[in-house]
Amino acid sequence: MTYAIEISDVTKRYGSLQALGGVSLCVEPGEFFGLLGPNGAGKTTLISILAGLVRPDSGTARIMGHDVGVDYRAARHALGVVPQELVFDPFFTVREALTIQSGYFGLRDNRAWIDEVIENLDLADKADTNMRALSGGMKRRVLVAQALVHKPPVIVLDEPTAGVDVELRQALWRFIRRLNRDGHTIVLTTHYLEEAEALCGRVAMLKQGRIVTLDTTENLLRLHSGCYVGLRLGGALPAALEPLVAQRQDDGAIRLALPDYAEVERVMAALREAGVAVLEMEIMQPDLEEIFVQIMRKA
């Protein structure tokens, strides 16, 4: 089959720094895929290789079967990228910028789709405003619009909601979900892991230029089957439970990490034996953020 994205043993070094150390992964058409990792993990370098902005030292990368180095015109036509940085041309209005972007891809009359993108990203009242007069959040909306203007089958969102308000975030995800339902492949990098958990069917986690986990979101949540117990106590935590402490908050609340739910009774028994009253208690399942932290520590 032809993958939406196919990356095979890609490496990249910047002097003594190994940005990517043999990354291989495939993303199927129509997937909503998460690319996660701490700062410096190699996510942006990998995206830059896909976009043709950086040449890998070795390995290959393909977009919809097109090699990004050899068949670069077709590869770039199949890809839309929303970058982290706010990059814009200060001399044009929003509509003019999108029209010019359409021209880069040989689209002569793209007005209907431009209008639809503008409307869905809540840019209608700013369509004839000069780019330099927009707020940071509005500029980010235009970056998203520019990535979508040629209707690419593969869309890469590199921290698209960084520093934007809740209203934009919700509007953006509604539109992106719709594009995904219509068959577009979406690749998301984000530090808001609740977004990745809610949106992505599969995720790859990178650390120091290597993939340390590649699995479905459902499997990651299921395989890490422990739980967390939040406690507010009327006395000191018994010494026997100290190894379970995952977090102490400034207001005195304590969070214990347990390997499974059966351990909850052992915790309660230890508290009863020590005569410590439980003022508040909450049992929580680990979310993707907790699992991410665990995996990064082990890696």
Instruction: Kindly report the CATH number assigned to the domain that includes residue 83.
Output: 3.40.50.300
Mean pLDDT by 10 residues, the chain (299 residues): 93 93 95 93 93 93 94 92 81 91 88 90 88 84 89 91 77 87 93 90 94 92 79 92 88 86 89 92 84 82
Distance (Å, whole) CA 131 – CA 113: 20
The pLDDT of residue 261:
80
Domain hosting 232: range is 225-298
Domain's final residue, options 181, 196, 221: 221
Domain's final residue, options 168, 196, 221: 221
Q: How many domains does the chain have?
A: 2
The pLDDT of residue 260:
79
Residues 237 and 168 in one domain: no
Residues 161 and 256 in one domain: no
Amino acid at site 124: A
Residues 168 and 287 in one domain: no
The pLDDT of residue 225:
64
